[in-house]
Structure 1
Amino acid sequence: MKYLLVREDDEGEDELWGRCANVEGLFVDPVPPPREVLTFRGCTPAGPLREAVSRPGESTALLGNGYVEASDDTQVDWWELVDAVVLAHHPSRSDPSLVDVVVGAGVKGAGGGGFRRSGPSRFELFVGNNVSAGQSLRVDGLLAPRQDPAKIPMELIGCEPTGRLLSALRRPRKREGDWAELWALDRTGQVMAHPAVGLGIDGTRPSVLGGTLIDITLTDGGDDRPAPAARPVWEAWYQGVPTVPNQWAPYSSQGRSAWLRLALHARRPRRPDRSGGVHHLDGRFVTDVPGLHCAMSEALAGPGGYFGWGWDAFRDCLCGGFGLTPPFTLIWHDADIARQAPADAVSACEGLLSYAEEIVQVLEDVGVTVVLA
């Protein structure tokens, strides 16, 4: 059995609901949000957006993924933007010193989704790694109601239900809104990951594996599922926590991101932080942001180790609790490869430094001696 279905009981203790041999529909691409057109009115552009609207004779520019934060004196909310593109820009009619910017993007609410203007409000656009792209007086189209994305089902194959799950299967209601965790086990029985899944049951049948097992179709497999590109990464981690350097290198950016997530789940038991010493970062395969964090984690925590999967997480790790704190020395071998990576693989920060250069600055700011070799 490679999977466990686990749910918290009323006392907050983990309770086993079933064991499963396999899962169909675990690896899926999320349904992309529909494209919308937003107009940022009275905008004071900054960073990447300022650069985009200042290009003479050009109106279209790529901003990538980001979010809009709306706030006033009583509430804060935000909306995620997927693949945002500047479609047009022109001086604002209300104030020619400001700019109206038209942006196309997939839009989904990442916050409470209940923001209502009750007074003077601020709308701020962030792109890349929490880089502010400017503030606006309002955003036309942002507060429109949106439908929830379609649910993607999941099928538990070869399931051995416990009494609690058997009881749930006999009930006429489908337990919509109830959630559990699907614990994915490696070959040693250690938990690799535990995405949340809905307990709405759409049907059952005798298992394709035979015997007394059953197959259970869940209405909603949840939003925590890995992408198809993560499947070979999970297969590698199924053999156990990696112990050989650079096993992450052959994978795509999505695969490398999945590697970092598994490394986070597989964190070794907490141990006292240490400082000092010389650590070597193998930069031969640092061709994108996830690759940088894979290599950095390996340099500071060993193969299969974890030391942040993104900008904020990396800064948090440097504060302690992950086995190593500054000061120490980091020798970054083949550092030029990260600097020469394709433009779409490095997130610009305020249009001045690449992501890799910003990481170096963060390290040096907290007392790490960085040697670029």
Structure 2
Amino acid sequence: MPIPSRWRLLDHDTDTVVAECDDIDGLFTDRVFPVPPVYERYTLLGCTPEGPLRAAVDGTGPAWLGNIYLEGVHAPCSATADCLTCYETGEQLLDVRVVGHTEAAGGLLDVELDARIGAPLAANERPLYDMWRAGGPTAPNQWAGLERSDRYLWVQAARAHQVHAPDKPAGTVYHLDGRHVTDYDAFYCAIGEAINGPGGWFGGDLFWLHECAGTGDAGATPGFRLIWHDAEIARTHLVPGYDRKAWSVAVTFDDLVDRLTDDGVQVELR
């Protein structure tokens, strides 16, 4: 009886069989389980300790704190706004232990920790945290000078700080500034601002674009008119191919226009 192939390769989008093979050289590497954690030294600057951290600093409680969840805080919204109050990072400091502290200015403390972090934040995320902490973008196209990876982070921050308000009246006309739509994430930066102003959010992928445009509750009543200025720039850049950021078939300019029109948006290209 023949020995069956060990591996079957399938296309991610269609599940079509690409090949069957006996083995894949390089697929397995030597690893030791469990993987030992890598600990780093972190310092909480200008800290006001509370709860278990205060007890650890005062010596009235254990120095070991376990896992600590991180979230970024931004300036408060208006009293009538129903919005998220933080840019949720999903980050944790793991197996945290307080190892020391020093007095800082104004009676605050700098607290030193030994801890492990699963996925450190990228340095280029700091300006976005600082911007939303100060109240968010104040003018259109502040994202235009960013690289694509940073534009993606911009869209995620815009969603986290989305202000939920009634959709604008039916018949409202929106103007999309297309001068900087040179990649897929730039489109979402631009349409978010077209619908909801600087730092606004109106989807970050095709699914959420459909949800926002087709069902509402994202700033615009469905069936709205969208005037896309300088649309030729996006037509030139968003072309068929493979998107090595999303690791999938690239979403084209025509795909975006078709999705909008299918959801009832009156798209006017200029």
Matches within 5 A, 1:143-292: 147=35, 150=38, 154-169=42-57, 170=59, 171-172=61-62, 174-176=64-66, 178-186=67-75, 191-195=85-89, 196-198=91-93, 200-207=96-103, 209=105, 211-217=107-113, 219-221=115-117, 223=119, 226-272=121-167, 274-292=169-187
- Partner in structure 1 of residue 216 of structure 2: 320
Matches within 5 A, 1:112-131: none
**Percent identical residues:** 30
- Partner in structure 2 of residue 127 of structure 1: none
Distance 1:272 1:331, change over 3 A: closer
Say if 2:261 is the partner of 1:364.
yes
- Partner in structure 1 of residue 235 of structure 2: 339
Is 2:176–2:227's contact at 8 Å kept on the other side of the alignment? yes
**Greater helix share, 1 or 2?**
2
Is 1:273–1:322's contact at 8 Å kept on the other side of the alignment? no
Return 5+ residue gaps in structure 1 as ranges: 1-38, 54-88, 95-99, 105-139
Distance 1:368 1:186, change over 3 A: same
- Write the letter of the residue equivalent to 2:232: D
1:41, distance to aligned residue in structure 2 (A): 2.4
Matches within 5 A, 1:82-101: 91-92=19-20
Is 2:174–2:195's contact at 8 Å kept on the other side of the alignment? yes
- Partner in structure 2 of residue 62 of structure 1: none
Q: Deviations over 1:196-246 (max 9, x none)?
A: 4336134222045474523232513454x6421223333443442223111
1:164, distance to aligned residue in structure 2 (A): 4.1
1:191, distance to aligned residue in structure 2 (A): 4.7
- Write the letter of the residue equivalent to 2:155: L
Return 5+ residue gaps in structure 2 as ranges: 79-83
- Partner in structure 2 of residue 128 of structure 1: none
Higher relative contact order (CA 8 A, sep 6+): 1
1:291, distance to aligned residue in structure 2 (A): 0.9
Distance 1:350 1:154, change over 3 A: closer
Q: What is the distance in 2 between the residues matched to 1:359 and 1:149?
A: 44
Is 2:195–2:202's contact at 8 Å kept on the other side of the alignment? yes
| SS of match in other structure, 1:219 | strand
Matches within 5 A, 1:128-147: 147=35
Matches within 5 A, 1:4-83: 41-45=7-11
The normalised TM-score by structure 1 is 0.55
Q: Deviations over 1:158-207 (max 9, x none)?
A: 1111244312544336232x333333334999955243433613422204
- Write the letter of the residue equivalent to 1:268: V
Is 2:63–2:99's contact at 8 Å kept on the other side of the alignment? no
Is 1:230–1:258's contact at 8 Å kept on the other side of the alignment? yes
Q: Deviations over 1:6-33 (max 9, x none)?
A: xxxxxxxxxxxxxxxxxxxxxxxxxxxx
Q: What is the distance in 1 between the residues matched to 2:194 and 2:62?
A: 53
- Write the letter of the residue equivalent to 1:279: Y
The normalised TM-score by structure 2 is 0.73
| SS of match in other structure, 1:280 | strand
Distance 1:154 1:40, change over 3 A: farther
Q: What is the distance in 2 between the residues matched to 1:214 and 1:338?
A: 48
Q: What is the distance in 2 between the residues matched to 1:207 and 1:185?
A: 25
Is 2:76–2:85's contact at 8 Å kept on the other side of the alignment? no
**Greater strand share, 1 or 2?**
1
Is 2:169–2:220's contact at 8 Å kept on the other side of the alignment? yes
Is 2:125–2:150's contact at 8 Å kept on the other side of the alignment? yes
Distance 1:310 1:166, change over 3 A: same
Is 2:172–2:225's contact at 8 Å kept on the other side of the alignment? yes
Q: What is the distance in 2 between the residues matched to 1:263 and 1:93?
A: 45
